[in-house]
Amino acid sequence: MTSAISGPDDGSGAASASRPLLVLASASPRRLSLLAQIGLTPDRVDAADLDETSAPRELPLPYARRLAVEKAAVVAARTDEPALILAADTVVSMGRRILPKAEDRDTARTCLELLSGRRHTVVTAVALAPSEAWSEGRRCVRAVETTVTFSRLTERQIEGLLDLGDWNGKAGGYALQGHAASFIRFVSGSPSAVIGLPLFETAQLLRGQKGAWLT
């Protein structure tokens, strides 16, 4: 899916003279909002839409890194203009087990029952890839691990969260910025990474690219 959105410099969707287009390889409104926090509005949104099935025995960290890199590469390959593609992937895991994105109520319930009263890890990887038309860009990737602990949830509390519905499409069946926040006892690491994009690491990667991406 491709959509044009207004650019950060002149409101026209065009990149500034000092840098190429910034393309977000994700349709996630959360990632758009997070980028806005650090003063960035992508010139274009072009979701990669990959098969996100994990490989047999693939661990959470390499899985997140692989998907972020593949998403950035797919969008870079189909972008004709000089551009830098930003992609990310978020994985919720219990030890070596990767929890699914909750696409239905039963899956979300299973995730919340597993997370109840326990500590888990959220891995978010962010990757940058230049299009072929921008030879000065470079590929890079960074992954961030954050520890999150839920309080013990009663059956009634789980059903209440399910009724509110903000589990839909979320890795692990919850959103830190949603109603589940009232049951999260502890976060160690990057809250923005849990939401979908580690802002400090993303900013550092952009500052490492040629051009005036951030102040």
Catalytic positions are 89
DSSP 98: E
With b for 16 or more beta-carbon neighbours within 10 A and e for fewer, the 178-197 pattern comes to eebeebbeebebbbbbbbbb
Residues 186, 149: contact at Cβ < 8 Å?
yes
Q: What sign has the CA pseudo-torsion 144, 56, 66, 38?
A: negative
Task: Characterize the bridge pairing of strands 83-94 and 119-130.
Answer: antiparallel
Provide the strand spans (E) within the chain. Answer: 2-4, 21-24, 44-46, 83-94, 97-98, 119-130, 140-150, 184-188
Instruction: Choose among 172, 162, 165, 158: nearest CA to 123.
Output: 172
Query: What are the tokens at 184?
Result: 């999260």
The partner residues of 124 in beta bridges, in order of sequence, read 90, 144
